[in-house]
Structure formats: C-alpha cells, structure tokens
Structure 1
Amino acid sequence: MRVYEVAVRLLLAIIIGGLIGYEREYQNRPAGFRTHILVCIGACVISMIQLYDVQKTVEMIGQNPQLSSALKADIGRIGAQVVSGVGFLGAGTILHEKGSVKGLTTAASLWVVACIGLAVGLGYYVLSILSTIAVVIALVSLKKFEAKFIDKTNLVKLEIEYMDKQGMVQMVNGYFEGKSIKIKNIEFLIEEVDGCEDGCMKSLYTILIPRHVRKSEIIKHLASIEEVMRVTVK
C-alpha cells in the first residue's frame, strides 16, 4: 500500500468521524467530536494492518511456495474484534438517570463509526461515503421526524402537598388516568408541611407524561384543586 493511499484513508476517517461526532457534540452528548474521530481512525488503522498482513503473507508465499500450506491470512478476524470490542466505549456513554436510560444513540453512533472506519481502511470509499450520509441523515433529519410524529413519554417526579381529606388521592389518580398519564410510583412522605398544622400530607408521584400533554398543564390543574397546597417538580 502506497503512502498517499494511507494518508487519503486516514484523512477520510477523520472527516467521517468528525461529521458524525460534531452532531453528537452539538447535542452535548458524552462522546462527541474527538471521540468519534479517534474511533474511526482506530478502526481504519486496524483495517490497513489487516491489508498489510495479507500483502506480507502473499509476498512470503510468492518467495517460498512451500509455505502456502503453513501461512494463512484471515482478513476479517481483527475487524470482527473491533466491531465487538468498541462496545466498551458505547457502554460508557449510556447513562441511567432518574429512571430513564440516555446515550443509546451515541453508543450506536460509536459502533457504526467503527464499522465505517473499517470500510475506509479497506478502501471501500463509495460504501464509506454513502454510509456516512445515511448516518448523518438518521441523526439529524430523522430526529426531527421522531420528535414530531413518534409519541414518547417523559418521566417526571411531582411532590404534592395537600390537605388529608377523603378521596383526595383518588381525585389525583383519576385526573392522571383521564390524561393517559401512567403512575410509576407513589411515595407518601412523613414530613412536616410548612404552613399547615394538622391533617396535611405530602406525596411524591413518579409519572410518565405523554408527549401531547404539557407538564405545565398538569401542574396548573393540580394546583387549582382546593385541597392542594403546593405542587413541586423534583
């Protein structure tokens, strides 16, 4: 492999990793611009090492035909280890926060960058460029489509302070049910409520809010209930 071919492949790996990494950096994700570039360069280098190994094996067999039965070159083995081994980086970008999992898209982008890096290193330029375009479309354009048309839920914790009257809990639960809000957990807190002497309670609701329901709308409705003293987002 000539020097200019190595330089071109490394440059293309930097550009591809940078394009995908920039989008992740812009979204303030754990693995961003430089991380994606490094992963892509590393996968590209591994691919070229495989090519060098194959070339060297062919040259040795050409010089010594009797070695043809002893020398073997597996062009896919090291690449397979890259594809599976990059998972440890992906695992590091996945965060568990307040009952929700974040970072799966970034982990997937790292994995696909490694795959594209292998393709660049092997010299499959058309495949590398078209797959990069596809990834950028998936990260940028399809994200807008997902936000607009695919219904998702948001996990929210609400602390409600209210007068301990009969049916208050059933009233709140009925409102959530009418709005298709799923109650994940209810905690009845044993704490003193400011501004209330007797008969006051404090509950912590963990709820899943559909995308079409506004959090402010929920808070406004709960606060309008006469028995409710305060609603706080945790």
Structure 2
Amino acid sequence: MENFQIEWQLVYDHSLHLVFAYLLALPIGWDRERSSRNFGLRTFPLVAVVTCGYMLVGISVIDSTGGEARVIQGILTGIGFIGGGAILTDRDKVSGTASAASIWNTGAIGVAVVVNRYEIAVMLSFLNVITLFFFSKLKDEMRSDENT
C-alpha cells in the first residue's frame, strides 16, 4: 500500500468542487420537483455531484496508463446499466431515479477509494445520505401539499 498523506489543500479544493456542483444543481431539481416532473429534488443534485466526483477521480489518474481510464470508463458503463434497472415506469409516473443516481454514486465512492481520494469518497457519501434522508421528507411534504 502506498504511503498515504493527507493533502489538506486538495481535500479543501475537492470538497469545494463537490459542494458547488451539488448546490448549483439543487435549484434545477427543486424546479423539476415543484413542476411534478419525474426527476427532481434528489436526482439532479446527486447526478451533478457524482459526475463531479468521477471527474475529480479521473483527473487524479490522468497521468497514469490508459488502462486505468478504460477501467473507469467500463465501471461507469456497467453501473449505468445497473442503475437503469432501478428505474421503474407506471403509466405517467417514473420512480427509482434517486436510487439509480445513488447506485451510480456508490460506484464513484468505490473508484475514489481505490485511487486513495478518500476526501472525494467521504463527501460523495455524505451528500448522498443527506439528499436521500432530508429531501425525501421535503419531497413527501411537497407531494402532500399538492394533494390538498
């Protein structure tokens, strides 16, 4: 195992990137949720933060062999396929998009850990849990307000 040292500036920079991507996607998700679209409050920020996480991991291995890049590409494709199976449709209602985004996120967490980018893995996990926990309640409240 490589000698692991925490580069605090990198931790700060990566965390800032991830949170910024997340925050920029929240208003889009909020609008889609409010408009009763199928993808919304949880899916948009999760996809934004996970995409940012994959790019940060990709950047950290960019000077390596092309093999690592191909492995990451294969992982992305495979996880996308698995996540697609989590999405269900019933007439005009789609469900499972936040689960699919979360599946994609766990892949990014795994890739980040294997390249020793623990700060990316921790932030991805934290933002995913916060999104699923807090925004599920908010989403339910928005739905109940719609029905009254």
TM-score, L = length of structure 2? 0.51
| Structure 2 residue aligned with 1:78 | 71
> What is the rounded CA distance, in whole Å, between the counterparts of 2:97 and 2:123 in structure 1?
23
Deviations 1:29-71 (A, max 9, x none): xxxxxxxxxxxxxxxxxx9xxx8xx6xxxxxxxxxxxxxxxxx
Percent identity for Structure 1 against Structure 2? 27
1:211 Cα deviation after fit = 2.4
> What is the rounded CA distance, in whole Å, between the counterparts of 2:102 and 2:138 in structure 1?
18
1:92 partner letter: G
| Structure 2 residue aligned with 1:104 | 97
1:91 partner letter: G
> What is the rounded CA distance, in whole Å, between the counterparts of 2:81 and 2:73 in structure 1?
14
Gaps of 5+ in 1: 6-46, 55-72, 154-209, 214-234
> What is the rounded CA distance, in whole Å, between the counterparts of 2:136 and 2:117 in structure 1?
28
1:146 Cα deviation after fit = 2.3
Deviations 1:89-113 (A, max 9, x none): 1111111224321111111110111
Deviations 1:166-212 (A, max 9, x none): xxxxxxxxxxxxxxxxxxxxxxxxxxxxxxxxxxxxxxxxxxxx723
1:130 partner letter: M
1:79 Cα deviation after fit = 0.5
> What is the rounded CA distance, in whole Å, between the counterparts of 1:123 and 1:77 in structure 2?
18
> What is the rounded CA distance, in whole Å, between the counterparts of 2:124 and 2:98 in structure 1?
16
Select the residue among 97, 118, 126 that pairs with 1:133. 126
Task: Please say if 1:118 is aligned against 2:111.
Answer: yes
Larger Rg: 1
> What is the rounded CA distance, in whole Å, between the counterparts of 1:98 and 1:77 in structure 2?
38
Select the residue among 80, 87, 91 that pairs with 1:94. 87
Select the residue among 129, 137, 143 that pairs with 1:144. 137
After TM superposition, the structure 1 = structure 2 runs for residues 196-207 of structure 1, keeping only pairs within 5 Å, are none
Structure with a larger share of its residues in strand: 1
SS of 2:89's partner is strand
Structure with a larger share of its residues in helix: 2
> What is the rounded CA distance, in whole Å, between the counterparts of 2:124 and 2:89 in structure 1?
30
Task: Please say if 1:212 is aligned against 2:108.
Answer: no
Gaps of 5+ in 2: 5-56
Bigger RCO (CA 8 Å, 6+ sep): 2
> What is the rounded CA distance, in whole Å, between the counterparts of 1:134 and 1:79 in structure 2?
22
1:126 Cα deviation after fit = 1.6
Total equivalences in the alignment: 89
| RMSD of aligned residue pairs (Cα, Å) | 2.7
> What is the rounded CA distance, in whole Å, between the counterparts of 2:105 and 2:120 in structure 1?
13
1:142 Cα deviation after fit = 1.7
